Each structure stands twice: as structure tokens, then as C-alpha cells.
Amino acid sequence: MTVAFPFHPDRRDSSLGYGDYLRFSKLVRERFGLQFPEKRRTDLEMGVLQAFAASTCTDLDGYYRLLQDPDGGMVEMDRLVNALTVCETYFFRDAGQFSALYHHVLSQVIERRRPLRTLRIWSAGCASGEEPYSIAMMLRELLPDVDDWAITILGSDVNVEALDRARKAIYGEWSFREEWARQWRPRYFCRRGNHYELIPEVKRMVTFARLNLAEPNYPAYETNTTFMDLILCRNVTIYFPQSLILEVVGRLYDALVDGGWLVVGHAEPSLITYRRFQVRNFPNALLYQRTGEPTTLPSDWEGLAASPAVGVSSLRSVATSAPTRVSAETQPPVKRGKDLVTRSSESKEQDSFDLARELMSFGRSERARDLLLELVKESLEEATPCALLAQAYANLGCWPEAECWCREAVRLDKLALEAYYTLALVLQHQERIEEAIDAMKKVIYIDRHHVLGHFGLAELYRSHGQLPHALKSLDNASRLLDARPADELLPESGGITVARLQGAIVRQQQQWGAEANGL
């Protein structure tokens, strides 16, 4: 590697001041119910900076105003929530709960539903799909005639980027941490290089949909969230305020049939929060069942039930029945990323670059940066790791470092499209608009079908006062989208669907057209 890199790896040019922290945390709490108290301020900062780096805004004030725009800000809001919701999970996560499901709950539900041969199961907050697919594999083990049953397994999440990974159903070694998963992998997965693809028979048992649990659009036929036999909602509500937790739990109760089951994370149980359910104890697991007979609380707890925010943490009724092992998903995000690097680096089946990409998909840009810095020191001169390193630095708000690695990638490969695209955004964030336009033009020169390139160029032209060119670029982007499925996720977009971007383009065409005509 010939590039001289004069920057300190940990330096940032951009961070959230206290006022920014307050206004962005309030915004995501109101939209998605996500809480970012002071101890999680770094998590919020990392997510906001990552989404901001992918936007076309030049400063945080403009970015915040765009997020508040009910029309023009929808694309950016999708990207932000994807960056803030960490979607790391694995198959059969929490063996105690899955053992209770396999040996007791699912067997009971199957017998109850055998006359009609129907089952309805919902994984609420399914992330990248390992949880609902684990249930699907269990059903194939428990039901010899599984293909003769009408089975609904719904996986929902607010993160559309995670849902896209779930639909593809291709997983790395890190998703097979549990012994159960390793034992069943030869039966239900096909090896694809360093990854494993789920077999079609299991994949087609699960459907995925975007759903925001903070919104009151469930249970409803429109969202396919009614008459559920089993709901898994694990380690989702731990990020919600108590008032919203009670609303969500109430809606989940209503979504279950009588006799239906609810599974929550080990950090979530509370007799007050789940008092409408009957508590069911199993070895290393505690589940809730809707029976129509709420849990009877001691008389001196009734006042607390009326004011659930008071003393809830002291009433974790099942802390002693839960395993002492702490699940990976409830660890602080940065620490989880570090564990991921350590574990996967020891695996001979996954190289450093694939791991860095995986870390980036989990929002672990700092860990990806560190890994890539080591990689570019040891590897031959290759543009691809340099381009990804540039993206990691951009996610951290380190514009000079990001530009440096973009230019190194371009030096090594004059057709390094991803490097040119990142460079255009980095230059725009530094308000070097003419240079940004030149970089984005190269993206389109390399790939004239690059939708985000045309869309980004439109934004750059408009910010430079060239409305006719901006409108032409919007038209080009719109034509390219017309030929693609509405629910398709645009590659490297941070979780933007074709339909969402098309809607944004239509609104911009109307607004900019009016500006061009002096209206």
C-alpha cells in the first residue's frame, strides 16, 4: 500500500452536540418508540452520523429539517431507523426458550390445531430472520405432514434492510452459535462459499413485512396480525418507554387466540407488565399464555399496577429462573461488534473483508474500520477494501479520512464505482459541490443504470442552482425505477425500497418543477 495515511484512526470531524442529541433522540422516540438515554447516547450518535453520511444534506440542521418533512423526509427516515436498529441475532437464540417451545408449546398448539391443520405464528422484531426460520425448522421436525398444513409464520421488523437479508436467507458462521443450529445446519442449509443458504422448503414457510410496533396498526387483518397461536417479541420492548411497552403488550395480547402464547426476552419479564397473561415456567424459560384469567397480584402490588412506571425494575419476577448467560443481542452495540470480530477472525471460513462488510451491515463502522486498516496493510493493492474503508470513515463523520481512501481506491481502480459514489457524498458534506458533481458523474459514466447516482446527481445540481439539469436527472432515476419491483431494496442504499424512492422523486419533481417555472 503506497498511500500515506496521516490521520489518527479514532479522530472524528463530526459528532452530536448536546442539543443535537436531545432533538434527534426526541424525534426517533416519537416516530419509533426508541429510547436513547444518556448511557446510549453513543449508539444514537453512531446511527445518526451513519445515516447523515448517506444523505445529500451538508449539515445536521438541514438533515434534521429534512427528517421532519412528512413527504420529502420519508426516505431519510427509513435510512435512519435502519442505522439505529441493530439487527444482530442467530438461530435458536436462547436454547432454554426454544427447548420449551419444541418440547411443550409447539407440541400442544399442534394438537389443538390438528383438526383444522392451521397454525399462525408471528415473530415481532424478527431482524434478519433467524428467529422465524428457527420456528419453521422446528415445525418440519414436529410435523411429518407439515406440507399439508396451512401454516402462517410472519416475520416483521421496522428495519427494511434487515428484512431484505431475511428474505435472501443467506447466513454466515456467526448465525450458528447455538449447538442446535450447528447440528441442524447440514439438514436445512446448502453451503455457498463462506455462507449457508436456507433450503427452499423452509424459506417459503415464512413471509416478511415491515411493521412499526410503536404504531397502532395491529392486530389487524391488513397487517396479517390477528388470531395468532404464538408470538415471539424478544428484546424489542427493552428499548421502549414503559408507557409504550404497556400499549404494545396489550396489542400483542389482543393479537393472540385464547390459549395462545407470548415469548419475550429474559430481560423483559414483569408480573405487572404481563399481568393479563398466565405465567408458565419451564426449565430455563418463562413464557406467557393468554387464558382469559389474568395473573393475580398480591394486594400490596395493586397500586404499582396502576402506576406501572414505578418500581417495575424491582419486580422482575423471573430473574432467578432465567439462565445466567447474557444474550449477545442485549450487550452494548460496540462490545457486540468486538465479540463478532474476535469470534469470526478465528473462523477459517470467513475472511476479513466479508467480516468487515457484515460489521458495516450491523452499524459497527468503528470495528469495520479497524479491521480494514489491518487488511489494507497486509493485502496487495486492491481498490475494494479501500472503498469500504472510505465508507466506514464517512459513517463516522471523518470526511478527510474518507476522501483519502476514496482517492486511493480510485488510484488503484479507475472504475471503482463505490469509491466515486462515497467520494461524491463526502465532498458534498464538505460543501465542495462542483467536485461532488464531477465525482457523481463518474458513477453514472461507469454504470448508467445506477439509480442512486442519478438521484444524488439531481440533488447536487439543485444545490448548485441548476434546476433543469436536476429535473433531467430525476427523470432518469424515475425511468430506471419504473422497470423494478416496488418492494425491491436498492443496493447500498441503507434500506430504501423502489417504491419509497419513487415517491420521493415524484414529490421533488413537483416541487422543483414549480421552482423552475417561478411558481
First-last CA distance in the chain: 54
Q: Beta-strand (E) ranges in 184-341?
A: 189-192, 195-198, 206-210, 228-233, 256-264, 278-282, 285-289
**What secondary structure does DSSP assign to 216-247, as a single string?**
S--S-TTTT-SSEEEEEE-SSGGGS-HHHHHH
Specify whether 317 is located in the same domain as 358.
Answer: no
CATH number at 44 reads 1.10.155
Specify whether 283 is located in the same domain as 338.
Answer: no
Specify whether 298 is located in the same domain as 376.
Answer: no
Residue 261 has what pLDDT?
Answer: 97
CATH number at 220 reads 3.40.50.150
Look at the chain and report how many structural domains it folds into.
4
Specify whether 269 is located in the same domain as 204.
Answer: yes
Specify whether 117 is located in the same domain as 248.
Answer: yes
Residue 278 has what pLDDT?
Answer: 92
Residue 491 has what pLDDT?
Answer: 81
Specify whether 71 is located in the same domain as 110.
Answer: no
The SS3 call for residue 128 is coil
Phi-psi region of 169 (alpha: psi -120 to 50; beta: other; left: phi over 0): left
Which residues, other chains included, contact 78 with Cβ-Cβ below 8 Å and sequence gap of 6+?
160, 494, 495, 496, 497, 500
Which grid cell is 307? 402506576
Specify whether 104 is located in the same domain as 67.
Answer: no
Q: How far apart are the C-alpha atoms of 487 and 235, rounded to whole Å?
A: 27
Specify whether 375 is located in the same domain as 423.
Answer: yes
CATH number at 401 reads 1.25.40.10
Q: Beta-strand (E) ranges in 412-479?
A: none
In 3D, which of 225, 230, 236, 231 has the Cα closest to residue 158? Answer: 236
Residue 500 has what pLDDT?
Answer: 83
Its pTM stands at 0.72
For the chain, what's the residue count?
Answer: 519
Residue 519 has what pLDDT?
Answer: 60
Specify whether 424 is located in the same domain as 489.
Answer: no
Specify whether 280 is located in the same domain as 339.
Answer: no
* Last-in-domain residue among 436, 466, 488: 436
Specify whether 315 is located in the same domain as 346.
Answer: no
CA distances from 281 to 101, 265, 486 (A): 12, 14, 45
Burial track 358-369 (b if 16+ CB lie within 10 A, e otherwise): bbbbbbbbbbbb
Amino acid 130 reads E
322 in Cβ contact with 286 (< 8 Å): yes
> One digit per residue, pLDDT tens: the chain, 519 residues?
444 444 545 544 456 788 888 999 999 998 888 888 888 888 898 889 888 988 878 888 989 998 988 777 888 888 898 888 866 789 999 999 999 999 999 999 999 999 999 999 999 999 999 999 999 999 999 999 999 999 999 999 998 888 999 999 999 888 998 999 999 999 999 999 889 999 999 999 999 999 999 999 999 999 999 999 999 999 888 888 888 999 999 999 999 999 999 999 887 767 778 889 999 999 889 999 999 877 665 554 444 443 333 333 333 333 333 333 333 333 333 333 333 344 434 343 346 788 788 778 777 888 889 888 888 887 667 888 899 999 999 888 888 999 999 999 999 999 999 999 999 999 988 889 999 999 999 999 999 999 999 999 998 998 888 989 989 999 999 999 998 888 888 887 777 888 888 888 888 888 888 887 776
Sole residue written with cell 445466567? 324
Q: What does DSSP say about strands 256-264 and 228-233: parallel, antiparallel, or unpaired?
A: parallel
**Is residue 90 in a domain?**
no
Q: How far apart are the C-alpha atoms of 72 and 304, rounded to whole Å?
A: 43
Domain that holds residue 409: 331-362+364-436
Angle at 484 between CA 483 and CA 486, to 5 degrees: 125
**Is residue 195 in a domain?**
yes
**Is residue 326 in a domain?**
no
**Is residue 226 in a domain?**
yes
Specify whether 294 is located in the same domain as 206.
Answer: yes
The SS3 call for residue 119 is strand
